[in-house]
Structure 1
Amino acid sequence: MSDKAVRIIYWIATGFVALVYLGGAIFYISANEMVTGMYETVLHYPTYLIWPLAGVKIIGAIVILWRPSAFLTDFAYAAMFWHLLLAISAHLNAGDPGWPPALLALVALAVSFLTQNRVRAVKSPHGNVRSGQQA
């Protein structure tokens, strides 16, 4: 695949993930009562998680877009990976139909992670998983 195609795919996937995370954080903040109700009645999660999750979602989106260091970016990718896996699991376990956006974001996150080293100047030592090479 050409470098231009990889660059386009990377930015679409990364932009989608950032949009999902920023949109989720804005929703958590602006519709806090609705989110609190969902956490209590549907997911059966403690509501004290809402505000820290909103903050971490904003930070994660900024880090994968800005990429201040390979370490922080890899940490954000890992945190997002586990968050999305747990979100899919929580929604499926609760019988809630809210899992497809998390699944799409997980696929986009994987695409973003696997194409990052061909696009970004700051290379991840873990980004060449597909080729088995280290940066």
Structure 2
Amino acid sequence: MIENYIYWVSTALLSLLYFASASMYIAKGDFVRNAQAELGYSAALLVPLMIVVKILGPIAILWRFNVAISDLAYAGMFYHLLLSASAHLGVRKPKGSIPAAVGIILLAASFVTQNVARENPSPYAPMAIIHDAFK
């Protein structure tokens, strides 16, 4: 039962992190473009793409209309958060990597507990492997 709460709280907080980030990308476009340029990225192409990804990723996980797409969203978020943290650390701005570190923790909690809370299990989540081993 506790895993169910862990899943929904971590997934809700992760989604909130992504939706807030997408909102900031939309509302403070110039600030985001300058911050991306400081990290060495081409903001003109990256920012519009990231707005779409930061909205669709959490929707795919929350709605879970297709388990494979949900797992793909988890993978995409993992790589995004990992690269975001390393980009901030690479330019010696460790405070900028804190949201990504929190996101990785929330993502891990959500991914590991998803099969307890969801009707359609993911074949890649650890709980599926443990559950199948004891059948």
- Tell whether the structures are fold-level matches, with TM greater than 0.5: yes
Gap regions ≥5 residues in structure 2: none
SS at the partner of 1:98? Answer: helix
* Number of residue pairs matched by the alignment: 131
The answer as to whether partners of 1:125 and 1:134 remain within 8 angstroms in 2 is no
Measure how far apart 1:25 and its partner are: 0.7
Measure how far apart 1:130 and its partner are: 8.1
Quickly say closer, same or farther: Cα 1:94–1:23, change in 2 above 3 A.
same
Q: For residue 64 of structure 1, what is the aligned residue in structure 2?
A: 61
Report the aligned-residue RMSD: 1.6
Instruction: Kindly provide the CA deviation profile for residues 24-70 of structure 1, in whole angstroms up to 9, marking residues without a partner as x.
Output: 11111110000011111x21110110110110110001111111111
Percentage identity across paired residues of the two chains:
38
Gap regions ≥5 residues in structure 1: none
Which consecutive aligned stretches of 4+ in structure 1 deviate over 6 angstroms post-superposition?
Answer: none
AA aligned opposite 1:44 = G
Distance 1:119 1:130 in 2: 12
Q: For residue 93 of structure 1, what is the aligned residue in structure 2?
A: 90
Distance 1:78 1:132 in 2: 21
AA aligned opposite 1:45 = Y
Q: 1:1-135 to 2 correspondence within 5 Å?
A: 3=1, 5-40=2-37, 42-47=38-43, 48-96=45-93, 97-128=95-126, 132=130, 134=132
